[in-house]
Structure 1
Amino acid sequence: MIRTDWARGAAVALACLSAAACTDGFLHEPAAAGNARVAIIALQGVDGAEGAFDKADRLQIRVTERDGGRVLYDDAIPVSAGGGPIRASLDVDLSGRPVDASIEVGVRRGGDDLFLGEDQFTLIPGEESQVSLELRPVPSGLDVPEIPQFTTFGETFPLEGRVLFATGDEIPSARPSWSSQTPDVLAVRELPGGGYVAEALADGQGALTATFESVTESVPAPVRAVVVSAEMIPASVTLRRGESVELAPIYYDAGGSMVPGRVSDWQSQDESISEVDDTGRVLAVSVGQVDVSATHEGVSAIAQITVSDPPTVGTVGTRSVTPTGGTVGGTVNPQGLPTTVWFEYGLDPQLADAVETPRQNRSGLNPSDVVASLTGLTPGTTYYFRIIAENALGRTVSDIFSFTTPGALAAPTGLTAQRVPPAGIRIGWTDNSVGETRFEIERTAGGGPGSIVGSVGADMTAWTDPAPPVNTTAYRVRACDDDVCSAWSAPVTPPDPGPGNPAPG
């Protein structure tokens, strides 16, 4: 007797090989003289393979002599399991001598193998031999799921599948292995605990292969990441008119992975300020600020474009000058950029010895007034100055201007008072100042406070009071330049009336 076992537990077979009749009652007629009889008594599907086993309709049996390969038997035997064991028998001609043989058994449905088994044994005329035959399932196809489109890089999908007999029944415990036909698009990873997953790497028409022994199945697996956010590089840029810059949008999927290779729809918020072409190159047209966007699938990346020029300066000059100080001013247009403004001044006509005023900040698109105070100047001295403005696009320096401080103002001296007809008093003095613009005359009368009663221009040294009050007691004079004046002179008292000195009326 021989006993066959399928290692995966899918079938059990019992066989009897003998040159004479088997003694267990399964064979009802002895074999012819010199023959050996092989009786396949029971092949029965178990442990989940019964469905395929029960559909078998024939056994394909081939017995060959191992030495020389002579075929001793090769034929198909119709069978019907019908839910029970398969029974069949065959005669093998030994020609009266022992034979070392090989047997191959295929359990089939139609022309498709469902199970295969083979073994080697020795047939001896007149003796009973035992052989062990192990059946194994024969895969015919794979049942694998459709793989949905991947929409995020790094996204994974579990890879499963069933191995099938030619009957469409599943081979128990058999699972296909998986590999990627497009490793740049999809990676296949084997899990430590068993099984496989596919991971999306890049956009593309991915494809996977499921394999079990010689059976393969190709499965399409498209990858197309969905863009959910974007940023622009650079996010902001400042250009001079006529300059250009190339912007680059970066798109991201839901997992935060960059999504390359996407076509963008470019748009400038105001093409009179900056233009943009289909490649993302921005051209600065006029001064201003504008947003430029790149959009893909409704998701936009935005860059803020500032078009500007170096600042411009104008209307530079002095606002006021004193013997020891002055105020200078000018206008600056920042051209839309934060701008720093200051003055330089000094004694050198080329400002090699320049001193800087404190720096001031300006912004906007319109001219702005800038004023600085200069202190500690020397009276009667020529100074040179200019205004400087600087922003991110450059520095603008004005022409050099100059001014001269007035000399120091000194109080007049040598005051005289002389009565003049018909009733006036003439005041005279010595001019001790340089740069005055006028002299002021103060009169005191009746013991009250003095008051300014007249003035004369620069370099004058006399003034006449045509009709002073009778009680006039004194006069004083001082030199002035705009709102700056010297100290008052010493007072002078008018002469008493007498011969040659007419009294006031």
Structure 2
Amino acid sequence: MIRTDWARGAAVALACLSAAACTDGFLHEPAAAGNARVAIIALQGVDGAEGAFDKADRLQIRVAERDGGRVLYDDAIPVAAGGGPIRASLDVDLSGRPVDASIEVGVRRGGDDLFLGEDQFTLIPGEESQVSLELRPVPSGLDVPEIPQFTTFGETFPLEGRVLFATGDEIPSARPSWSSQTPDVLAVRELPGGGYVAEALADGQGALTATFESVTESVPAPVRAVVVSAEMIPASVTLRRGESVELAPIYYDAGGSMVPGRVSDWQSQDESISEVDDTGRVLAVSVGQVDVSATHEGVSAIAQITVSDPPTVGTVGTRSVTPTGGTVGGTVNPQGLPTTVWFEYGLDPQLADAVETPRQNRSGLNPSDVVASLTGLTPGTTYYFRIIAENALGRTVSDIFSFTTPGALAAPTGLTAQRVPPAGIRIGWTDNSVGETRFEIERTAGGGPGSIVGSVGADITAWTDPAPPVNTTAYRVRACDDDVCS
């Protein structure tokens, strides 16, 4: 026969299951012959969990032979919710022999366990066995916070949570552990002093799991880094017409981490100079300079595109030639790039012996005049020259041109001198030269050295000395160009 009694007082949580008169306020009849009575003398609850315990409305008791033997008792005993100790008693049929038994007690509300306790003891027919159970709370759910979207890689968020009874009351001192369902998106780190944090690693729909014993809760944790700055690789590039290059924007979040995998809106400032497609490939169309941009979420990366060609050379020739020098020139278009220009000249028709003039710098998109002076030349000699222009895209060499320096000027002949009243002397001569720019008249007096006393322009063949010294002995006339005289 199985007999049960229960009651609930207003003090600590106690259940008395006794085989004889119990001293906890119950008055029991002795156990029937062959039966034993079980007395649970103390159910030690959990400090701080009184709220859940007070809501219990039944005990689930199971008594069985140890090591998987027969079940001696398995039933629920209703109790009144409202607080205080819970007391009960029951008889167990032993069939007249002692039994090594185990007992499991569940403190429940409805069908949900709030607390569980177990013990082992020996039942002896006709006697009372007392057991002391320490209750442990039974988790039913978790209360975890909503996690806001991560907007920066490396950003962390503290992971907290409460463990709940089936009644919704918190289990004191119980905290869930955390793990990441998406380790490529979110990492979970346990802190040395206790607790957990989640760290954003990459864009994605992250998810975390909070766990306490057998209770789990999945928590969404999206990661979407906000782009705040950008740079273009390369930041500047020079292309020939028809060439192309692929640009790559790099976006950064507020923490300075690169944000990969973002779609860009590409734009060329002037498509007549360069075009760009939606992959970032730039095609050089015409000579010029233009900005190409990639934009994401209002943040732009910019590359400066210079479209150019090797420099071009225009008209090349001599500007002037003398027996010992000359001026050569030409036009050069730098095609928008810094360009270096110089001349080579020499006596060899192929310029194997070339001498370079000082280098000059040009820039811009329009033809520029370049001039160089050649000095120390030999009269009556043929020289060869060319112009060379070079920029970052290549070197342009002109054809080879030539010029011949005039020979030495022929000296005047037929020199005459006649007096001109009142005291002058008129000098005359025959012009034998071509290309002179002037004639110089030299006078010697008293056997001393000669000195230049006058000059006339080209093709003039007479000059008057208005007042020569009385000791004048000779005159000499020379034909001259800019540098040389006969």
| TM class by smaller structure | 0.7 to 0.9
Shift of 1:473: 11
Native 8 Å contact 2:163 2:174 kept in 1: yes
Native 8 Å contact 1:415 1:430 kept in 2: yes
Which stretch has the larger CA shift, 301-310 or 462-471? Answer: 462-471
Which stretch has the larger CA shift, 28-37 or 328-337? Answer: 28-37
Shift of 1:317: 1.5
Q: Take 2:376 and 2:137, find their aligned partners in 1: how far apart are those partners?
A: 110
Secondary structure in structure 2 of the residue aligned to 1:345? strand
Native 8 Å contact 1:408 1:435 kept in 2: no
Shift of 1:208: 0.6
Secondary structure in structure 2 of the residue aligned to 1:115? strand
Native 8 Å contact 1:21 1:37 kept in 2: no
Alpha-carbon displacement from aligned partner over 1:314-367 (angstroms, at most 9, x marks no partner): 221222222222221111111111111111111111001111111111111111
Q: Take 1:2 and 1:381, find their aligned partners in 2: how far apart are those partners?
A: 141
Secondary structure in structure 1 of the residue aligned to 2:53? helix
Native 8 Å contact 1:6 1:135 kept in 2: no
Call closer, same or farther: CA 1:324–1:123 in 2, change over 3 Å.
same
Shift of 1:461: 10
Alpha-carbon displacement from aligned partner over 1:370-417 (angstroms, at most 9, x marks no partner): 111212222221111111111111111111111112223464466356
Alpha-carbon displacement from aligned partner over 1:401-457 (angstroms, at most 9, x marks no partner): 111122234644663569999999998868887875786789999999999999999
Call closer, same or farther: CA 1:457–1:175 in 2, change over 3 Å.
closer
Native 8 Å contact 1:11 1:49 kept in 2: no
Call closer, same or farther: CA 1:16–1:466 in 2, change over 3 Å.
closer
Shift of 1:7: 25
Gaps of 5+ in 2: none
Call closer, same or farther: CA 1:276–1:367 in 2, change over 3 Å.
same
Secondary structure in structure 1 of the residue aligned to 2:51? helix
Call closer, same or farther: CA 1:24–1:483 in 2, change over 3 Å.
closer
Native 8 Å contact 2:15 2:86 kept in 1: no
TM-score scaled by structure 2?
Answer: 0.86
Secondary structure in structure 2 of the residue aligned to 1:390? strand
Call closer, same or farther: CA 1:394–1:84 in 2, change over 3 Å.
same
Native 8 Å contact 2:8 2:80 kept in 1: no
Secondary structure in structure 1 of the residue aligned to 2:239? strand
Which stretch has the larger CA shift, 456-465 or 10-19? Answer: 456-465
Shift of 1:92: 0.7
Native 8 Å contact 1:2 1:14 kept in 2: no
Call closer, same or farther: CA 1:441–1:359 in 2, change over 3 Å.
same
Which stretch has the larger CA shift, 103-112 or 369-378? Answer: 369-378
Call closer, same or farther: CA 1:10–1:29 in 2, change over 3 Å.
closer
Native 8 Å contact 2:15 2:85 kept in 1: no
Shift of 1:164: 0.6
Q: Tell whether 2:281 aligns with 1:281.
A: yes
Native 8 Å contact 1:10 1:49 kept in 2: no
RMSD (Å) for aligned C-alpha atoms: 5.4
Call closer, same or farther: CA 1:361–1:226 in 2, change over 3 Å.
same
Which stretch has the larger CA shift, 140-149 or 451-460? Answer: 451-460
Q: Take 2:354 and 2:132, find their aligned partners in 1: how far apart are those partners?
A: 112
Q: Tell whether 2:458 aligns with 1:464.
A: no
Shift of 1:241: 1.0
Shift of 1:313: 1.4
Q: Take 2:105 and 2:387, find their aligned partners in 1: how far apart are those partners?
A: 107
Please list, as runs of the form range in 1=range in 2, the aligned pairs for 1:21-420 lying within 5 A after superposition. Answer: 21-22=21-22, 25-40=25-40, 43=43, 45-66=45-66, 69-409=69-409, 411-412=411-412, 415-416=415-416
Shift of 1:309: 1.0
Native 8 Å contact 1:5 1:12 kept in 2: no
Which stretch has the larger CA shift, 150-159 or 315-324? Answer: 315-324
Shift of 1:16: 5.3
Secondary structure in structure 2 of the residue aligned to 1:139? coil
Shift of 1:463: 12
Q: Take 1:219 and 1:320, find their aligned partners in 2: how far apart are those partners?
A: 89
Call closer, same or farther: CA 1:198–1:423 in 2, change over 3 Å.
closer
Shift of 1:251: 0.6
Native 8 Å contact 1:408 1:434 kept in 2: no
Call closer, same or farther: CA 1:17–1:99 in 2, change over 3 Å.
farther
Call closer, same or farther: CA 1:211–1:466 in 2, change over 3 Å.
closer
Q: Take 2:23 and 2:459, find their aligned partners in 1: how far apart are those partners?
A: 162
